[in-house]
Structure formats: C-alpha cells, structure tokens
C-alpha cells in the first residue's frame, strides 16, 4: 500500500465518522469531494470529475464546488435523498502548523433541512421516527425548520402507515431490529422513495434523552411514542451538533380526534395535488389557500389533512371564520398586515440553531413591525378563538427595538465581511470605522503629495488582496520614480511599487478593518442569541399568526365564492342543498356549474346507486359530496346553499389505480384490495365513495362482485356506512326493490336529434341507458367504428347470442382477422346466457302467463343457437 498524503489521511479519518453522507471537505475557497463521494456528486450535480494525487503518483477521483455556491449544490443532493456532511477549516491556515485542522460542523439530511433554499415554503419538512412492538407503533414527527414536534401512539399496521403517509415525511428513522418485523417489507415498499435511516442505539438511550427536556409532561401509557420522540431528538442533535432540549415543545395527540384521511382518499379527492400533473393547481388546497404567509399556508394544509371530530372545536373555527367574513374592512386590513410578515417560525428556528444570517434578522425585524397594528385590529373581534389568538400575539417591543437599532437594512449574507451593524449602535465599532474613513482621506492626500513630489500626474495608489496597497506608475514615467520606491510587480504598461510609509499605513488600516469585521461578527452573534432567547414567545406568536392567516383565508374564500356555514352534528344525516364541487367550479369558469342536492343517512338513504353515462358527471358528484363533508369538518364554510353534516370518522374512496399500475399491480387487483379495505375497516360513521366496482374483469364477474359489495355494505349489522356507489351495471338498481336503505339516482341526460346533452343534474330513479356509443362519438371515434358498435349492440339487446355468449353478428359481419385472441376468462364459471336468464327470475313472483311467455322466449333462443 502506497503512503497517503497527510490531507487524504485527514479526509479518510473524517469520512469514516460519516460513512452514509457525502463529505463536503473545505479546501480554501472550495468544498472538495473525493473517492466514491466524488463519483456520486459529479453525476448528481453534473459537475466535472477529475483527480488528484493520493501519494506516489496514485490518483484519487475528485470534484469540487466554490464555497459560495455550496448551498445550492447541497439543496440538490438533499432533494435526491442524500445526506451531506459539511467539513470546515476550524483554524486560520496562516497559523496552522502542518495540515489545517478540520471538522464536520453540521450534517444536512432531507429531514433536517432548515435553510430556505432546501424547503418548500408552504409545506412542513418532517423527520419521522417510530418504534414498534408487535402491532403497536409510537410515531414522532419533528419539523426542525419550524420547531414543531408531534407524537402519537397507535395500534395496527394500516393505521400506522396511514398516519405516516398523512404527514408526508422527508426522512424516516427506525430501529435496526424493525427489519425482522412482520410488516417490514410492506413498510419498505410503501416508502420506497424515502430516505430510511436505521439507528443503532438501544431504546433506553432514547428514554434517557427525553429526561433532559424541561417541563415535559405527557399522557400515561404511551411508552413507544416516548421512545420515538427520544430517537428523533437524539438523531437531530447528533447531526445539528447542538442540544435541542429547549428548542421544541412536544405535542401529544390522538388520531381518533381527527377524521382519517388515508393516502388513497387524499390522492383521489385531490386535497393537495391535482391528479392531472401532481401540481397544486386543481387541488382543494389551491382553492382554499388565499393565505398571506408561508406559516398560514402550512397551517391550512395541516387542517386539510386533519379534519376535526370534536364538534365544539369545529364550531370555534366556524365562529371565527363567520366573524372575519362579515367584517370585510377589518379582514382586508388584517390580511394586509399579515402580508408584511415573513416566515417567523423558520426565521426563529434558524436563529436558535445558529444558522440565521444577517438577512434573516432583517426579515424578522420587518415581520415584527406590523404586530402592534395587527393586534389593535383584532381588538374589535369577539369570537372565542380570535380573542384567544389576540392574547397570544406578542408585540416584542424590546427585541424589535434592538433589531431596528442594530441591523442594517441591506446587509451582506456573509457574516465575516462587515456591513451588518448600523452606525451609533456600538461606540468601539464607530471608532474603528472612523479610522477606516481617515485612512481613505490619508490615501488621497498621499497620492496628491506623491504626484507633486515626483511630477508624475498619472501616479495612482491602489489596493488588491495579493499585494495590499501599492503605487502604480506607467512605463513612460519610470525615469521619474524616486530611489526609495521598492518595485513589487511589473505589468505590460506599468510598474507597481511600495514605500515604507505606505506599508506602515496598510498595517494600521487593515488591522482596523479586520477588527471591524471581528467586532461586527461578535455583535451579530450576541443579537442572534437575543433572538434565540425569545424562541418560546416567537413560536407562540407565529402559531397564533398562522391560525389567524388560515382562518382569514377561509373567510376570504367563503365570501368570494358564496360558501355557507354548515351545521355539523352527531346525527347520521348528510343533507346538502345545491352543493357544488369546489375545484371544478373554479377550473371551468366559462361553464356554469350545475348544483345538486344530497341526502344520506344510515337508514332509508344509506346506499345511493348512481347510474348514468360516462362524462355525465357521476365522478364529479361523488367527489363533491366527500369534499363538502371534509371541508365542513375542518371548520370551513362549504360550496352549497345549505348543509347539515352528520359527523364522519373516515372517508373511503375507491376510484382509480394509476399509481399502482405504474408499480406493476393490475387494475383489478388494486380495485379489489381497496374494496377489501373498505369492507374490513368502514364503520357506521364512515362515508364510502365507490366509483365503479368490477370493471377490471369479465362483465358477469364484475356485476356479481359489485352486487355482493353493495349488499354487504347495506346488510352487515355493524357497518351501514353512508355510501355513494356510481356504477355502469344498471342491474344494481334492482337492489332498491328489496333493500330498504338503497335508493336509486341517475344523472339526467337529454336526447336531441340523435345527440345527447349532459344536464349534470342528479335526479331520483335508475336508468338502463349508458349512452356509451354516443359518448364514443363525442370522444372522436371513427364513424365506421360507431356504426359497427351500433350493429353489435342491437344484436346483444335482442339476445341474438351463440352458445358461447358471443353476438352472432360478430361472426358474419365486420372485417376478418386471423389469430383472433381468446375472450377474457371468467374468474368463476363459464357464462351461459340461458342459465343467467333463469337465475334472474323469481318464479314465485310470476303469473302463469308470464311464466309461459318467459319459457317460450328461452325455447326460441335455444332453437336459434342450434
């Protein structure tokens, strides 16, 4: 093995302490990466891969980035799921004996991002940790960028996964032993796109970590939740290189206090992302988010993910929104004040963690200015929640005064270059600056004096980082240069000189400039510490501001789009008059949205069978009802003339399967898995949305499954969930004849001169027309295909089938093709149309003449097939 250079030895020693991170190794004005880190970074960051000596001509892969661009490159690596260890020079290279001392000062991970460049302004950045014993899970979510930490303990694998998905963690921690847990593979597959870190520490070490948190109170009987909290804090402290004992307050919550929104429902209802392009536009959040601050936007998103079960809490939000909606002038002024406030939550966290730069403190300074006026605006409000928020908003006179007096309006980002502290804040700093100003005057006077002495009118005194101060003389005037000038550099057209007098001045002035930078840095750190000491009050105020902003946003939307205050109660009825889809009505502004009524309960309107053609609006209506229910329970007003919502504990949706298809699962399998989850987990308080069941298999298999699912939802003694069931199986409408809780509705369609007009109106009664061929024409299918489809349909409707159930016309007409593929196989028994006809009838309900006619019809069909 060839000997390593001292620098490579140092690199490898530091890298061994952070094997799972890309090491940014500071060398002068660059961060360098070596070996495998360099190969990965050059590929992911699209930067040049080169090499340097390892020792005795052996080469090491190398790439690097300038120190002032490092934040951008770190952000890119975090977004791709990597960790980055930032290794700095911790001593002055000029004073170093041998190799410069270096150490890792911070580890960046996707779940511990704090800088604005690494974060989405309107979303939380959670680090999730969990501990498991059997099917009991303790979960902790830390957003170090805001200081929020919330903890819960739940039972069951599916509830655990739902809660994890609901919080959208950027990074996940778990114990190594979890890899032997029965649900590990399911967990791993569910979060295959996430960075998962397995921790080595023993559980008792996490418990010891919690003992250092001051004033920690927690419910009894949640040991796993407490272990998860300790795990997350331990990991964060290890990577932030500082104690977080006073950083974050821990909020313990119970999932049963909130409506359950699983990943499927969140996606299908487009709560925060559109199904079209996964962007915010076209989602419910896009409609409701008129917030003025990033804090308010995050708060609103949390409300969407956590609709309330506590009716009194729902009403507290409603009362606040109602008052803000009515007081339009005050609301406008409140929103204007909020618009001047930056992200106090994240500015405070950066200050506490020691990451805030001068511009962060300017942002905080500007954000504190509107608080006194905002608080005075709130004095006229009387709803309990707004009164509470008013009391929680501090004015920060002392801190605001300090920032106003100390921090320049446009400081540099860099901490050690000066220009941060205002004049008249610190006497010693003012004196040092005066020396600097005198130095500039002295230079001008010296330049004029030297010109006069030498007779060189073009003589200049300049400064650069390499030579310091120097005198520059053009070559045409070199014969006039005095003997005491000492030559330092020769240029093409000039020479540069120094004098003892100039060097003495340089030492004095540059010493003052260095002292200025050092003093400004020390003063800035003192001010930043003052901000950190106010963390608790700043957090309380920023929380109140985020809630106020969320409420004002919902009031603004309610006023702008004519939403009404719903009544939420403990009954079983969902009654909506003239309900509208909140997203669709905003996306299709050129077309008037047709409102519709809804009546659901657990008795005579427990299961609605909704039929009608494709494109008529069935799916829109189903989602509309679910969204109105969700909005009502998050405390929002809703798009309707009137609404009364019997509390819902969970919204189930069975709609599409695109994401799972891309993962390699069949449409039908996904459909059945989602349906199974509904049948196994729904309760009498649930709302079930079924948008077609049984499409992924043969017609009769699908109809059989759809029929059985509907019966199960209606008949099961412990279920009776309020259900909307859209289907193209018109046979399901017959359930209403024998099932008390089943009601038929359809989407009205008008036929006009061979065309169909979608009326978008939900009316009572079933329909046996699907208008599929008319819809196909609207979609642009060739006329030849449309004509052929009509022929086959006519053949089917007349019952002209052969013994295999195929339309006879299909054998005698249409274009022929060899190697025709086999028809789809049934999951059950082969289809016999005669058997099907016999199974559909009830002889006990037929008159003698009806029975004879039916028998005669069957006989003719059999004779035709022969």
- Contact by Cβ (8 Å): 527, 498: no
pLDDT by residue (tens digit) across 845-854? 565 666 666 7
How many angstroms separate the CA atoms of 781 and 77, rounded? 47
H or E stretch at 598? strand 596-600
Closest CA to 691 of 627, 766, 610: 610
Tokens of 95: 């004073």
Residues of the chain with pLDDT under 70: 1-2, 53-58, 203-218, 656-666, 753-754, 768-772, 774-775, 796-833, 835-836, 839-853, 863-866
pLDDT the model gives residue 865: 65
Count of H-run helices and E-run strands, the chain: 30, 26
pLDDT by residue (tens digit) across 502-549? 988 888 887 888 889 999 999 999 999 999 999 999 999 999 999 999
- Alpha-helical (H) ranges within 241-289 are 263-268, 284-288
How many angstroms separate the CA atoms of 730 and 807, rounded? 20
pLDDT the model gives residue 828: 47
Sign of CA dihedral 847, 848, 851, 852: negative
pTM for the whole structure: 0.85
Q: Calculate the CA 404 to chain-centre distance.
A: 35
- Contact by Cβ (8 Å): 831, 698: yes
Sign of CA dihedral 261, 263, 264, 270: positive
pLDDT the model gives residue 820: 43
CA of 61: how far to CAs of 49, 54, 865, in Å?
7, 9, 78
pLDDT the model gives residue 817: 46
DSSP secondary structure string, 194-247? SEEEEE-S-HHHHHHHHTTSTT----SS-HHHHHHHHHHHHHHHHHHTS--TTT
How many angstroms separate the CA atoms of 851 and 383, rounded? 70
Domains of the chain and any CATH numbers: 6-108 (3.40.1170.10), 119-257 (3.30.420.110), 289-396+534-561 (1.10.1420.10), 427-513 (1.10.1420.10), 567-769 (3.40.50.300), 782-814 (no CATH), 829-866 (no CATH)
pLDDT the model gives residue 842: 63
């Amino acid at each position: 093995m060839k000997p390593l250079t001292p620098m490579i030895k140092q690199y490898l020693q530091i890298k061994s302490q952070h094997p799972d991170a890309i090491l940014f190794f500071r060398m002068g004005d660059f961060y360098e990466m070596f070996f495998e880190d360099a190969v990965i970074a050059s590929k992911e960051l699209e930067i040049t891969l080169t090499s340097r000596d390892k020792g005795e001509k052996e080469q090491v892969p190398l790439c690097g980035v300038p120190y002032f661009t490092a934040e951008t490159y770190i952000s890119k690596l975090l977004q791709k799921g990597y960790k980055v260890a930032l290794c700095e020079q911790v001593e002055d290279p000029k004073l170093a004996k041998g190799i410069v001392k270096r150490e890792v000062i911070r580890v960046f991970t996707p779940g511990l991002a704090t800088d604005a460049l690494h974060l989405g302004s309107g979303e939380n950045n959670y680090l999730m940790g969990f501990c498991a014993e059997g099917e009991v899970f303790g979960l902790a979510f830390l957003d170090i960028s805001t200081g929020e930490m919330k903890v819960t303990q739940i039972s069951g694998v599916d509830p655990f996964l739902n809660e994890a998905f609901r919080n959208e963690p950027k990074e996940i921690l778990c114990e190594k032993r979890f890899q032997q847990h029965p649900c590990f593979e399911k967990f791993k597959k569910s979060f295959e796109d996430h960075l998962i870190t397995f921790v080595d520490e023993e559980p008792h070490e996490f418990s010891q970590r919690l003992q250092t948190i001051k004033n920690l109170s927690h419910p009894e009987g949640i040991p796993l939740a407490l272990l998860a909290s300790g795990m997350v804090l331990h990991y964060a402290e290890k990577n932030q290189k500082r104690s977080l004992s006073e950083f974050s307050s821990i909020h313990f919550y119970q999932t049963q206090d909130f409506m359950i929104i699983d990943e499927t429902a969140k996606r299908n209802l487009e709560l925060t992302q559109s199904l079209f392009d996964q962007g915010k536009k076209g989602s419910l959040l896009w409609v409701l988010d008129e917030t003025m601050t990033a804090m308010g936007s995050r708060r609103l998103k949390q409300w969407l993910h956590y609709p309330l079960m506590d009716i009194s809490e729902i009403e507290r939000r409603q009362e606040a929104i109602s008052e803000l909606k009515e007081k339009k002038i005050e609301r406008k002024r409140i929103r204007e004040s909020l618009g001047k406030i930056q992200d106090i939550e994240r500015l405070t966290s950066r200050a506490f963690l020691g990451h805030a730069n001068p511009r962060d403190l300017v942002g905080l300074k500007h954000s504190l200015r509107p608080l006194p006026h905002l608080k005075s605006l709130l004095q006229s409000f009387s709803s309990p929640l707004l009164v509470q928020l008013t009391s929680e908003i501090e004015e920060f006179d002392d801190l605001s005064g300090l920032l106003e007096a100390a921090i320049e309006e446009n400081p540099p980002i860099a901490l050690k270059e000066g220009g941060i502290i205002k004049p008249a804040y610190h006497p010693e700093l003012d004196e040092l600056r005066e020396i600097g100003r005198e130095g500039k005057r002295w230079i001008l006077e010296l330049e004029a004096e030297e010109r006069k002495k030498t007779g060189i009118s073009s003589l200049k005194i300049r400064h650069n980082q390499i030579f310091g101060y120097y005198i520059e003389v053009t070559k045409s005037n070199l014969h006039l240069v005095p003997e005491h000038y000492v030559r330092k550099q020769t240029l093409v057209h000039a020479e540069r000189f120094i004098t003892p007098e100039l060097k003495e001045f340089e030492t004095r002035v540059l010493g003052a400039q260095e002292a200025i930078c050092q003093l400004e840095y020390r003063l800035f750190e003192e001010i930043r510490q003052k901000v950190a000491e106010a963390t608790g009050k700043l957090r309380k105020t920023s929380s109140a501001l985020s809630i106020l902003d969320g409420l004002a946003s919902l009031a603004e939307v309610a006023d702008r789009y004519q939403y009404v205050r719903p009544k939420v109660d403990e009954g079983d009825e969902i009654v909506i008059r003239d309900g509208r889809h909140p997203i669709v009505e905003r996306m299709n502004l050129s077309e008037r949205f047709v409102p519709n009524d809804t009546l659901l309960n657990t008795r005579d309107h427990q299961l609605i069978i909704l039929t009608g053609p494709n494109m008529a609006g069935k799916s829109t209506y189903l989602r509309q009802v679910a969204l109105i229910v969700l909005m009502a329970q998050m405390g929002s007003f809703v798009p309707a003339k009137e609404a009364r919502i019997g509390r819902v504990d969970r919204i189930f949706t069975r709609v599409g399967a695109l994401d799972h298809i891309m993962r390699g699962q069949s449409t039908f399998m996904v459909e059945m898995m989602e349906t199974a989850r509904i049948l196994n987990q729904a309760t009498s308080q649930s709302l079930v949305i079924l948008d077609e069941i049984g499409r992924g298999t043969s017609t009769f298999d699908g109809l059989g499954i759809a029929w059985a699912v509907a019966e199960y939802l209606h008949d099961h003694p412990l279920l009776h969930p309020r259900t909307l069931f859209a289907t193209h199986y018109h046979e399901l409408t017959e359930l209403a004849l024998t099932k008390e809780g089943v009601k038929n509705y359809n989407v009205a369609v008008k036929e006009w001169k061979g065309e169909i007009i979608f009326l978008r109106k939900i009316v009572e009664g079933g329909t046996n027309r699907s208008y599929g061929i008319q819809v196909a024409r609207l979609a642009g299918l060739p006329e030849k295909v449309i004509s052929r489809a009509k022929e086959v349909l006519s053949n089917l409707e007349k019952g002209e089938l052969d013994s295999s159930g195929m339309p006879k016309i299909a054998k005698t007409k249409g274009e022929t093709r060899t190697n025709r593929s086999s028809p789809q196989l049934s999951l059950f028994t082969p289809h016999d149309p005669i058997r099907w006809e016999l199974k559909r009838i009830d002889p006990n309900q037929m008159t003698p003449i009806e029975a004879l006619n039916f028998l005669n019809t069957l006989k003719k069909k059999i004779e035709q097939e022969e």
